[in-house]
Chain A
């Protein structure tokens, strides 16, 4: 027969194993393929302020949660759409060229999901086309998730770990997260 202290030790070990197994279960969500869900924010385009000034007390807007921001499958779909819809035509594989780079920490129009959503849907001066009506909102949200993964803003287990094609950049998964910096809007002549 085991002594009381040994049985307590065993119980602790069992408890630890149960906790670890439960923790492993939580990882199942990241591959979940939701084909017919509408992210809450998908039907309405989030309103993004054009001005810092507000009437009354200045409040911060509630951030919009991107349903796809913690889903590895959606991020990889975003990666596929990024090339199929020719985002790579201007932003290349994130390093930028004709358009600004997406893999660095500089953000002209904001790094939050709703800012990137607005940038894609509304377009931006001097080159960024407006995709309003040309993309389904769920497709835009997948692109938003992928664009954020390029500069390490998503969890590592969600960001893509490999390319389907030739390797042209380091993996999104191994990109270190850098604090997003809101760069001042450059003069129109310099805007990308």
Chain B
């Protein structure tokens, strides 16, 4: 997990369209680089022409119109218009072909993931032909390196937008409609994604991590996520589970293997294995978790999580229990 945190701390690199880690992001970066280089050349030429026009030596009196000179000037302007048109058309063609390449249909062996946007967190589900093997997690997508990942995008409330700049472009999540996109990570690493469509009060604190790992470790992760939650072994953690089930927690969160099965808030079955809490707002540490449980409105004003007044001993037991949910 510390490696994940490290990657999150290298924030600009883990969230940048200029550091592509997949084929589609590379197409977008190539398009950007060509436009950037062309714009620099155009800018320099225009500035040179402007400076020449501003500082050229002038005659004292206006010369009489000279037909040959007028013709020359017309030719220069026509050539500039022609070159501009060609440049813009080249951009248009390269833009459309880049768009077609990025949105091409994914292959049949792509991993299917369903990402559902909520105000203000991400629900992630890996489906299987056996419903018992479905995996539900939150705010973190794990993918194997070198394999296409087809993402189905849904929303339960308002329009959100899924945007992992290192991997691909953004796509909206629209309530009542299923959208889709696919991406592929070519190198292992942790990439940051976030909501790119203003979706309400805490839009800015709605991030998600994409963890690209080797196929073996991805398979291990998926198998581990299919397990039900850790059963409390000692008196402290079993007290923590009692606190969880008898307080407001169980009204919104689910933990597989316990009676808590609500789907209003994020699934907490393997909470301790996740790198962040509150949709990428804070690193998942014991202290942050305690602050979040007791007064979430201080950390993320407007979040749907209510404040919880817990007895200090109960809070300690609850934290101990949550930390066992690996």
Contacts and interface: CB of A to CB of B under 8 A. Distances in A.
User: B201, B252, B307, B308: which has the most chain A beta carbons within 10 Å?
Assistant: B307
Contacts, number: 32
A136 B301 contact: no
Closest CB pairs A-B (n = 8): A136-B306, A35-B301, A35-B297, A36-B297, A84-B264, A134-B251, A35-B302, A139-B306
B247 interface: yes
Main SS of the interface on chain B?
loop
Interface string A80-92: 0000110000000
Interface residues of B, number: 17
Given A36-B298, A139-B306, A133 B248 contact: yes
A138 interface: yes
Interface string A159-174: 0000010000000000
Chain A interface residue count: which class? 10 to 19
Main SS of the interface on chain A?
loop
Interface in B275-326: 295, 297-298, 301-302, 306-308
Contacts of A135: 248, 251, 306
Contacts of A164: 157
B123 to A, nearest CB: 14
Interface of A: 33, 35-36, 84-85, 133-136, 138-139, 164
A85 B250 CA distance: 11
Interface of B: 157, 201, 246-248, 250-252, 264, 295, 297-298, 301-302, 306-308
A78 to B, nearest CB: 13
A87 to B, nearest CB: 12
A188 to B, nearest CB: 29
Contacts of B297: 35-36
Contacts of B307: 36, 136, 138
